Structure 1
């Protein structure tokens, strides 16, 4: 089916081309005598007998309009140099007709106008006979002005510098396109010349054959039997050279014929998202406790310069030639090829011949990577829903996707999803938005520096821009202590509180287990409320009882590996229960890890996380662990990711947007500066059975170790001896890890040996000497 928009643009390109041909032709056929002839005719007399008689006297083949146009531009404007803007019109017609970007013709038009002025002024500085025809009135005026102001030499230097500078600027902007266009013209001319030579040779053979058939001289027929007398020539010692010269030409013709047989590449147009101002929506809303809350403005995100989205066609053509040449070596025939240029990679879609097996292409992945000299290629065999094989190849001009650009689209502004999350841009440049409520849980894995923490910031920021505190609350668990500390500003708006814990952003493994069990308890209580209300999920409950509406809970765990190493089954059990049951009551997990190994992402955890994101990983084994398929080991890092939705068979390649720490700080500070909610959302105290109580106990409303650490007494002696209560002292002297040393310090505080923490300062030691300590320890044991 023909695209109407494409048809309109091609028709517009043809009209522009016709106008350019008329413009250039009119100027080139300018004749001085036509001015006097045309001047006899008024503008309103263009039709009639007078116009007919005038047209017969004109030398310009483009009629009265062409003669008037050429007289105006050549005599009164910039002379024959006025032809140069006509070349810009030709370029415009080419770009409009081929549905290309319009930025290059804009640059070229500006260059053409300026270089026309420079060339006309140069012609005005000369004194040869027809200089006026090349300079025009405007060129002579500018030349007179510059020569008076700077002198003739100074004017020439200035104009030459301007010409060189403008040409270099044009080459820098459009050099590859000009080179590609020039090579295309040269190839076309070479092919035409070769074809003309072949046609000429064919015509000569046909003519000679016809002449031989029509020759009436019988002597030629009698002389023909005398041809076999070649031994006389053979006796000649000088042997004729074998004719090897035509062979290179024939080889070149064969090579050219092979490339001519290559399918023409089709460049798929990128998706152009409809932009929208996010600040035009209703920013100020009322909360449930009758307070006011204002959504953060998009101006808190950095406004970045729009990057050039021009497609380098010559580079695409070169990549296509390399790809097809390598496939041709292995007898893989490609019928059709198309390319989609994304932010960082180009997707080539190859439609194979019917007799080619897909497995034959997939086995060539490493060979194709070497042929393309690429950092890593990824194959999609086949592309879901298409009769084609996909090859993703990194291109030389990567573009950064900014957070502001993916939020300022109509799709996000008018989204009706419960928890809309922006993940980035696809290869087709489409903004990819998914609903966290329908995922319903997300597993994120990737090597250090691949973009996991930025990805988590993007997800949380998306929710902050789309949801109010009445709609969503966060449970943040950050064992690394430094990744989520920006969100401390949200404590009075979006962060939940725990009964029995002072912290709202959990950093210690023991408290993380307690927080996860609190979420499990909240899940059980919500199910009880749904059962009483007679509904199946949180959306129905909120519609039925809007006064008792429950917020969604998003649990973010930034480093699962650390929790699994320190707590193991105590962490896996609540995460598994939440992943299996929490969807209906609006509790959703986002779990990230930089170690996607089977001992961290166990089979039980992976089975309950259908939606997964894989950033760049170190090996194919890690890729299979997170995605059940390879491909993540071929990613490029810096936000390049594969997203496996729950409802699709194969992952989607997406470029995650970039949001800086300063932008996150600006968003959270803006929210934190507003008046906090009057009632905090508190999670209940979890049920602690005997098994859990052996490793964890609740004392005085605080979480602490159930039994004292084996190093407790030695640590107490060390602290009292040095009169310094710091975790680093325990780490150095007792060779403990940070988490264990911190737990021992908490036990010392609970037993009255050291005081409470005072920021980065050492704790105050409450026991003055070792004798007092021995008495205290004896009382504790008693």
Structure 2
């Protein structure tokens, strides 16, 4: 247990003691104590006179308690003054649980308001002890209200205010009340379990005594000589031998042996059963479960760092405030020990059936799953428990169970089981920690919380590229938003730039607000967020060209990487480039090798010059995540996938098929042998829009960062920056295709495929360009297109006019 938690638990206990003293002092108020205290000055706490006065008080809490009771009850709010004492207990409970101070603060305000209200009501009433309950303040408020709005109006007002405050407080503290109810229910379940165990132990003890008694009776029947005298002996007058010998006709006495010495035998003399005490118990005690304490991250106010900076071109820039993120209610970290005990028993019972002996067991409760660490007996093979994944899932009635055999760095096997109280991890909670505020990572990326509740932060600059895969709705787009938002909260526009490629068109459009700060511009493209496959390949080749130019700068400067270059030449410092592709499958289907080639080159070479890739896909198949791409992405994230085959494609092992969705993921860093299970935080589209809009409203940079025009050396390349009618937007095979269709006087995609050796997709795009430039007519089903140009001379004239545009 860390020192911080010990301090807070001590403070909570101290507040609870203060509350007990406060309420106890008022509860034992006695009017006679005032006369004794009147003869004692307020500062006299030592001396004989103070001792005599304290001995004569009726209040067991001494002089301080008696003075406090006399002040509050006689001169303030009467006995109603005890109600605010409840706030001390709530404060102590909240401080000890390491939660926010907002709930106890609201509770204190509510308690003070209700105390004044009850005191006023007692002041309005005519009960015998109403004055003692209301006190001076209550009577004064009652007299003021009855004078202003009358006696009836005062009652109506006070009842309405009390009812309204109670309704509001019920809504505010509904979660705390439910937590208290669950805690009491769990405590009751624990007592019931303990009572059941005690009853079973007593029952087993009685049954054991009954069996022992029946066995003793059976032995007595089987050995009558040991229990009764011989028939020839005289029971009435025993004869005592004079010489210490035996009297004729008398058997020697058989000494009573301990019960543990008797062993029942069969006909062949072999032992049949042993009484208790001869051998070990048939069943050993089950190992006790050890609940590992979750990590409590040190909270920090992210807005207390340096928020205002100046860019290189002297434009002021302000980091987004954490208040742009949604404020959420505190998550309860209560651990239901009875539920854990039940899960442990079912798990051990199933393992016992398959002869798997467990020596020790511990549990770590995460946001959505519980990790049971099992230390197995030395003779148990690890492969034996890995084959029981489906059997354990059925026994636990769990949605999905993941087995870690073994846990890296531990002599234990891990079993991850979903629990019944999943908690949402919010983006604000993972940013408001000291680890993120004081991080020294170059490009800190927040991934979420681990099973031990630790905030997991990694450096994109050391990954150096990240491959993300998962089924639709598993959380890929939210994960990308989390990573980009964490970079926006930690990096200025001078340090980082984004290249965003969004074939789905709807996932990254919020980042258009960053066009004057974080987004790059392309030489030959108007868009800054790329959505079309042809323009995506053009953008990737621009990044490749930028990579080559940066390597030339590093060579001239005589340094090895971008960090050394920026330190050596701060006036010419280069920003880091983060290339985000939200759906790789769409690009691979339309582009194939034209997409794979620049991605592979960037993955292999771009790390040293500060260019990093984040590539996501919902189809983790071998035709999308090819071997070349996979080999150059050592860091990977797998959200929930449909099958074990997809899990092996992305992680080289199973496990992703057993995830729970909604941000539940496995992160495989390049430095660890096995993936880490992390719960990705949730950030809504509204929060992303608030962050980007806040940045977009600031003054933009004077000079945007522009990527160079790529070198298109391959004339068979199918991609160009646009699909319009300009020269740069036309396919390199456009002219040859035009001459071909004019020569044959028919236009069809199959003709271009056969004669120009083009793929279907590229041939179809060339045909669309021919139609857009007035060379062929529109498609007519399966018939060839009509050629609108009659001869080659007319075609040459048309092409010359197109070149002049």
- Normalising by the residue count of structure 1, what TM-score does the alignment of the two structures yield? 0.72
Bigger mean CA offset, 163-172 vs 599-608: 163-172
CA distance in 1, matches of 2:510, 2:124: 67
CA distance in 2, matches of 1:496, 1:177: 49
Tell me how far 1:177 sits from its aligned partner: 3.6
Q: How do 1:21-32 residues align onto structure 2 when only pairs under 5 Å count?
A: 21-32=20-31
Q: Relative to 1, partners in 2 of residues 1:89 and 1:358: Cα closer, same or farther, differing over 3 Å?
A: farther
Tell me how far 1:74 sits from its aligned partner: 3.4
Deviations 1:607-663 (A, max 9, x none): 110011223322332222112233333444444433222112233314144252634
The match for 2:332 is 310
Q: How do 1:464-613 residues align onto structure 2 when only pairs under 5 Å count?
A: 466-467=490-491, 471-484=495-508, 506-531=530-555, 533-546=557-570, 549-613=573-637
CA distance in 1, matches of 2:738, 2:359: 69
Tell me how far 1:117 sits from its aligned partner: 4.4
Q: 1:651 aligned to 2:675?
A: yes
CA distance in 1, matches of 2:343, 2:738: 64
Secondary structure (helix, strand or coil) at the match of 1:433 reads strand
Tell me how far 1:354 sits from its aligned partner: 5.2
Cα contact 1:423–1:433 (8 A) shared by 2: yes
Tell me how far 1:263 sits from its aligned partner: 4.1
Q: 1:435 aligned to 2:437?
A: no
RMSD after superposition? 4.9
Q: 1:617 aligned to 2:641?
A: yes
Cα contact 1:365–1:379 (8 A) shared by 2: yes
CA distance in 2, matches of 1:118, 1:504: 62
Bigger mean CA offset, 126-135 vs 585-594: 126-135
Among 689, 704, 708, the alignment partner of 1:662 is 689
The match for 1:391 is 416
Q: How do 1:278-293 residues align onto structure 2 when only pairs under 5 Å count?
A: 280-286=306-312, 291-293=313-315
CA distance in 2, matches of 1:638, 1:156: 48
CA distance in 2, matches of 1:57, 1:364: 74
Cα contact 1:500–1:703 (8 A) shared by 2: no
CA distance in 1, matches of 2:286, 2:71: 46
The match for 1:8 is 7
The match for 2:790 is 774
Q: Relative to 1, partners in 2 of residues 1:702 and 1:31: Cα closer, same or farther, differing over 3 Å?
A: closer
Secondary structure (helix, strand or coil) at the match of 1:277 reads helix
Among 332, 335, 345, the alignment partner of 1:325 is 345
Cα contact 1:346–1:392 (8 A) shared by 2: yes
Cα contact 1:643–1:654 (8 A) shared by 2: no
Q: How do 1:409-424 residues align onto structure 2 when only pairs under 5 Å count?
A: 411-412=435-436, 415-424=439-448
Tell me how far 1:132 sits from its aligned partner: 4.6
Q: Relative to 1, partners in 2 of residues 1:502 and 1:753: Cα closer, same or farther, differing over 3 Å?
A: farther
Q: 1:55 aligned to 2:54?
A: yes
Cα contact 1:557–1:591 (8 A) shared by 2: yes
Bigger mean CA offset, 740-749 vs 365-374: 365-374
- Of Structure 1 and Structure 2, which has the larger fraction of its residues in helix? 1
Tell me how far 1:682 sits from its aligned partner: 1.1
Q: How do 1:14-93 residues align onto structure 2 when only pairs under 5 Å count?
A: 14-93=13-92
The number of aligned residues is 681
Bigger mean CA offset, 54-63 vs 378-387: 378-387
The match for 2:249 is none
The match for 1:729 is none
Q: Relative to 1, partners in 2 of residues 1:117 and 1:339: Cα closer, same or farther, differing over 3 Å?
A: farther
Cα contact 1:425–1:656 (8 A) shared by 2: yes
Q: How do 1:735-754 residues align onto structure 2 when only pairs under 5 Å count?
A: 742-749=765-772
Cα contact 2:289–2:341 (8 A) shared by 1: no
Cα contact 1:14–1:97 (8 A) shared by 2: yes
CA distance in 2, matches of 1:278, 1:601: 43
Q: How do 1:36-435 residues align onto structure 2 when only pairs under 5 Å count?
A: 36-97=35-96, 102=101, 105-106=104-105, 108-120=107-119, 129-141=128-140, 148-150=150-152, 154=156, 158=160, 161=163, 165=167, 168=170, 172-180=174-182, 182-183=184-185, 263=289, 265=291, 267-277=293-303, 280-286=306-312, 291-295=313-317, 297-299=319-321, 302-313=324-335, 316-330=336-350, 331=352, 335=360, 337-342=362-367, 345-350=368-373, 352=375, 376=400, 378-386=402-410, 389=414, 391=416, 393=418, 396=421, 398-399=423-424, 401-402=426-427, 411-412=435-436, 415-427=439-451, 430-435=454-459
Tell me how far 1:432 sits from its aligned partner: 3.8
Among 656, 660, 666, the alignment partner of 1:632 is 656
Unaligned segments of structure 1, at least 5 residues:
203-224, 226-257, 720-735, 755-761, 763-768
The match for 2:475 is 451
Cα contact 2:25–2:65 (8 A) shared by 1: yes
Secondary structure (helix, strand or coil) at the match of 2:426 reads coil
Q: Which has the larger radius of gyration?
A: 2
Cα contact 2:287–2:359 (8 A) shared by 1: no
CA distance in 2, matches of 1:621, 1:13: 52
Q: Relative to 1, partners in 2 of residues 1:321 and 1:542: Cα closer, same or farther, differing over 3 Å?
A: same
Deviations 1:246-265 (A, max 9, x none): xxxxxxxxxxxx99996464
The match for 2:703 is 677
Cα contact 1:270–1:341 (8 A) shared by 2: no
Q: Relative to 1, partners in 2 of residues 1:54 and 1:637: Cα closer, same or farther, differing over 3 Å?
A: same
The match for 1:706 is 733
Cα contact 1:476–1:504 (8 A) shared by 2: yes
Secondary structure (helix, strand or coil) at the match of 2:418 reads strand
Q: Relative to 1, partners in 2 of residues 1:377 and 1:497: Cα closer, same or farther, differing over 3 Å?
A: same
Secondary structure (helix, strand or coil) at the match of 1:595 reads coil
Unaligned segments of structure 2, at least 5 residues:
206-227, 229-283, 748-758, 779-784, 800-805
Tell me how far 1:594 sits from its aligned partner: 1.5
Deviations 1:522-557 (A, max 9, x none): 544544554455433333344445565544443333
Secondary structure (helix, strand or coil) at the match of 2:462 reads coil
Cα contact 1:296–1:670 (8 A) shared by 2: no
